[in-house]
Each structure stands twice: as C-alpha cells, then as structure tokens.
Amino acid sequence: MSRITLFFILLFSSLSASASVTVYAASSLTNVMNDIVDAYQNKTGERVRVSYAGSSSLARQIENGAPADIYLSANTKWMDYLIEKDEIEADTKVDLLRNSLVLIASKTTPTENTWQWFLGQKGLRLSMADPRHVPAGIYGKQSLEKQYRWSEVKDNIASGNNVRSALLFVERDEAPLGIVYKTDALLSKNVTIVEEFPADSHDPIVYPMAIVKKKNSDEVAAFYRYLLSESAKDTFISYGFTTI
C-alpha cells in the first residue's frame, strides 16, 4: 500500500466517523451529488459524506480498505474490477446514469474551425483526463481514435487525474481545448462547447452504483434507495444527466 493511499484511508476514516453514510463518487458528480446530499440530510437528518476523485483512484482506495459504503463510478470497468475483487455487494449494482462527451474551448480559442486551428498551432495541448486510467480520458481516447484524430494529438495531451482537472486547465486558459463530460461543461461559464462527440464513437458512458461489501446497513440502504428515487432522478436530470 502506498503512503498516499494510506493517507487518504486514514483521512477519510476520521472524516466519516461522524457520518451515517460515506459515498465514494466520480468527480463529475460533484455538484449534483452535493445537491442531492443536502436535500437528503434536510429531509432525514442523517449525515452523508461524499469523497470525490477519479473512479480508478476511488476503486483502488476501496480495494485497500478505505471506509466507503457506496461506490458511484463513471464507468463499468472499475465497478467490475471491485466486483472481481469481492469488494462490492454484487446484487446491489445498478446502472444509474448516462452522460455524453464534448470538446470544449477556452474564452480565447476560436470557435469556428476550432480543430483545424488547433492542429495548425505549435506547442498547444489538449486537456483531458488521463486516458490510461480515468473514464473520461478513456472515452475521449476511444472517440479520437474512432474519428482518426488521436494520432494528431497523442503527443500533446495535458493529462489530468480526473475530469474536473481537465476542465480547470481550459477554464484557466492553460489549454485551448479540452475533452470533458457534457454535464461538467454545462456548469462552467468560462468554456464553450465546440462539439459533442458521437455516442457511437466511444463506449456508452454509464455510471453504475453499488454498496461496498459488508456495508449494507439500514442507513446505507436508505440513502442507496434515495439515489434511485424520483426526487434524486429529477436532480440528476437538471444537471444534464440521463437516468436509466
């Protein structure tokens, strides 16, 4: 176990001690989950704490004993990984949401013929989540390969450890273009959506949810059910997600 992993386990162990439920959720769910948690806490008085990071990082933390009760991933790969490791109550796995992928531009980037403009420049980088491990980056690479663009940019990637990092690079104009989820782009006033990638150019962007092994308490089950409720679905939809 790395020192960094151990640090996060100890940190969230202390933070979650005061919470009834601890959720590990993909970074792209930050805003919508904050709203859902606030509504649930106001309704029930139960304390819910959410830790946000890349799905791969969260899965590794859970594998190493981090105190998560519910895992919400941005792709099925890392959920299946934890199921294979027997870290998940497999019968609680449910596909909760869908998302889409977009190309975004900073405020100083031309919004016409943007891709051609980008390729004509020197030293510019395309911001995206790490295409080796992070779901948003994996989907982005798949789409670029399908559109025969990957070979043109693979050596000029500004790689973030999660999709919010990729968004931030473009918001700060540290990268002229980026690939993020549509829901993240819609939250930002500092980027422009240039195009939405075809849904058939990458694997379906599915967010599965499940309860972590031996964590199926009454409090955990209650919040799990709330995430499947019509109230939660309405909130997810208001942020641009599609519910399943």
Same fold, 3-98+207-243 and 101-201: yes
| 146 CB neighbour count, 10 Å cutoff | 14
- Does the CA dihedral 108-110-116-120 come out positive or negative? negative
User: Residue type at 235?
Assistant: T
Buried-exposed string 199-210: b where 16+ CB fall within 10 A, e elsewhere: eebbeebbbbbb
Q: 3-98+207-243 — its CATH code?
A: 3.40.190.10
Q: What percent of the chain has pLDDT over 70?
A: 93
Residue 70's alpha-carbon distances to 24, 205, 216, 226, in angstroms, are 6, 19, 9, 12
Would the pLDDT of 137 be above 90?
A: yes
Map out the domains of the chain as residue ranges. 3-98+207-243, 101-201
pTM: 0.85
Topology at the third CATH level for domain 101-201: D-Maltodextrin-Binding Protein; domain 2 (3.40.190)
pLDDT in tens, 197-228: 999 999 999 999 999 999 999 999 999 999 99
| Tens digit of each residue's pLDDT (9 = 90 or more) over 86-119 | 999 999 999 999 999 999 999 999 989 999 999 9
